[in-house]
Amino acid sequence: MTEHRLAVVVLAAGMGTRMKSSRPKVLHEVAGKPMLHHVLDTSAALAPERSVVVIGAGMEAVEAACRGHRTVVQSPQKGTGHAVACASEALEGFHGANGRGTVLVLYGDTPLLTSETLRRMAALREGPDAPALVALGFRPADTTGYGRMLVDPGDGRLLRIVEAADAGPDELAIGLCNGGILLGDGPTLFSLLERVGNDNAKGEYYLTDVYGLAAEAGLTTRVVEADEEELLGVNAQAELAHAEAAMQRRLRAAAMAGGATLIDPETVWLSHDTELSPDVVIEPGVFFGPGVTVESGARIRAFSHLEGAHLGAGAVVGPYARLRPGTRIDAGARVGNFVEVKNAVLEPGAKANHLSYIGDARVGAKANVGAGTITCNYDGFGKFRTEIGAGAFIGSNTALVAPVKIGDGALVAAGSTISRDVGDDDVAIERAKQQIRPGAAARFRQFRGATASAERKSGKAKAL
């Protein structure tokens, strides 16, 4: 917004009973972020002076998720018009005698709405026509259940919106449907809301009635059209899955447009904040949770899972690797198959190629961690760190009992359990002395065979 002060009202009072979930509907996630946060972040692109979220009674979880935005409670819930009216006090300065501003009304269950669409609405509101109200419409393939927008064919003014439950056959034949989003002059909006009644099929106060009242008062109202996908409202789990699929298509397209190679895009799942640099290669079946950044030239092999991790240039991860929050894989480092890394750093050129767990640790530059190695970082009460120096070699099947430090260039023999620090260039061996008993295997088999035969004869053989 450039000329008008802006306030945002997000309607989020619905419990979403069709979701069949104890979690409030707007807190269900799309691409790793609650739907409500998608909407708030999208509206933030217009730099509003304040945002108000309208919630229902007992929705403390939603209130806590609003992250500094003001909330107001709609109780009882008597329709969308009533919900916006509940925000009146919180919008002091944007309506009434004490101020004048523009109010944008959004819905907390429309995660696919884009800031570009909102900017088009704002541009129309600020244009030469300066309509008092701007509505967002769309033309769905299936219009069932949507309110219809009646537009003057001569000058394009929006005359009124008729809810589907109150529409007649001629109105239901209209293809332009109400997307619910409203942008308008604050004083005008709240003045019109005072005149909205509830003489309709649901006995509710519809926000959509303000358009008809505005037309009757000689005010100009306009429609901006958006793609159907943007206005998908999520009311059930199947619709949530639809929204997720649509968001994934957007994220994959953006990643590839930015220069990342997705070998089989449909099998790669990205988070809302995944950052992939040019020349990154992502193999099939990779899942990105929130907080992952990948630098140029890195490769993530098939069926790996990453969350809260950073990969440096040229790093290689997987296949079947898991990187958990706090992980940093520096340039040229390698994490191989069935390796899990948590809150740890692999410095440039370090390797952990097979079947290992590296948690709460630092692995120095060009160090090698052998197959089956684990950092024993938890004693049942607290977490402790392991330090592995540059160029160190950790033999296979080693347990490093933290807190412990392995020096630069040190070598730990395979099969060792290390609980004390190892100095630079030292060799550490901790294992029981191997014993060889010639012929003992044959004698053992002979003994066990005779014992088993005796047990069968006496009826004492154990049931399998």
Catalytic positions, please?
A: 354
Q: Which residue has the tokens 């002060």?
A: 5
Q: Which residue has the tokens 């294992």?
A: 431
> What beta strand segments (E) does 164-320 contain?
177-185, 221-225, 261-262, 275-276, 281-282, 287-288, 293-294, 299-300, 305-306, 309-311, 316-317
Distance CA 293, CA 299 (A): 12
The beta-strand segments (E) located in 108-176 are: 133-138, 148-151, 158-162
Which secondary-structure segment (H or E) carries 62?
helix 60-65
Other CB atoms within 10 A of residue 359 CB: 22
> How far is residue 309 CA from its own chain's centroid?
15
SS3 91: helix
CB hemisphere CA count around 108 (13 angstroms): 31
Q: What is the spatial distance between Cα 353 and Cα 298, in angstroms, rounded to a whole number?
A: 16
Positive or negative, the Cα torsion across 118, 123, 125, 129? negative
Largest CA distance in the chain: 106
H or E element that contains 83: helix 80-86
- Name the residue with tokens 């009242």: 213
The beta strands (E) that lie in 20-75 are given as 29-30, 33-34, 50-56, 70-74
The answer to whether the beta carbons of residues 92 and 46 sit under 8 Å apart is no
Q: Is the dihedral of CA 170, 174, 177, 182 positive or negative?
A: negative
Cβ–Cβ < 8 Å for 267, 285? yes
Which one-letter DSSP state was computed for residue 267?
Answer: G
Q: What are phi and psi of 416, to 5 degrees?
A: -90, 150
Give residues with Cβ within 8 angstroms of 123, minimum separation 6. none
| Burial class of residue 312 in the structure, from the number of CB atoms within 10 Å of its CB (0-12 exposed, 13-18 middle, 19+ buried) | buried
